[in-house]
Amino acid sequence: MHVETIEGNLSAAGRHFGIIVSRFNEFITERLFRSAFDGLLRCGAQLKDIEVVRVPGAFEIPSAARTLAETEKYDAIICLGCLLRGDTAHYDVIVNEVTRGIGQSAQETGVPHAFGVLTCETLEQAIDRAGLKMGNKGFEAALAAVEMANLTEAVVGKGARRKAVSSQLSTFSKTRKPKLPSRSKKRGR
């Protein structure tokens, strides 16, 4: 039995990518970045088609991803960061917000976002996921971004996705006008 299947391929030729890299835990995030960059080049991306944005920490990744996606210049966004569990609940709060923010940006803009943010219990786990025992999650995120960029175009077409998302965003912004408090014309003395 033959079932029609739509899949993305791993050709980055002619595609534009944004890579967002957190500077916090730079020892790990630089390894993720180098591998993601290498992955894009191996898939045929050109240097001129890759833009790198550095942010202070993982918490800032979703905002930067959303900003890049809304420019409509990128076929996919790669989000790279490293969160290590500490002794407080801060880790859980940040992990949840970063994950939610990246997912929300991808869903609302229609631009694929690859999740290359490590969420590890220990530094050793992060090192393993940034190129030692467990491969490199930055490289994997780059491949996912390339495949999803191609899949998105195969499903909706290059221009169709952007037009649909722009229409959705303009409708959304029209319905969410902030209500300002009414100003009284009478002034107290």
Report the candidate in 78, 75, 82 with the shortest Cα–Cα distance to residue 29: 82
**What is the mean pLDDT of the segment spanning 31-53?**
98
Report pLDDT digits (tens) over 119-138: 999 999 999 999 877 789 99
Which tokens belong to 82? 């490293």
Please check the confidence at residue 169 and state whether its pLDDT lies above 70: no
- The DSSP-derived string for 139-178 is HHHHHHHHHHHHHHHHHH-HHHHHHHHHHHHHHHHHHTPP
Q: Which residue has the tokens 């959304």?
A: 172
**Which residues belong to the active site?**
90
pLDDT at 186: 46
Please check the confidence at residue 184 and state whether its pLDDT lies above 80: no
Report the candidate in 167, 189, 140 with the shortest Cα–Cα distance to residue 10: 140
CA distance 84 to 92: 10
Whether residue 55 contacts residue 66, with contact meaning beta carbons closer than 8 Å, is answered with no
SS3 content of the chain, % helix, strand, coil (to 5): 50, 15, 30
Please check the confidence at residue 78 and state whether its pLDDT lies above 90: yes
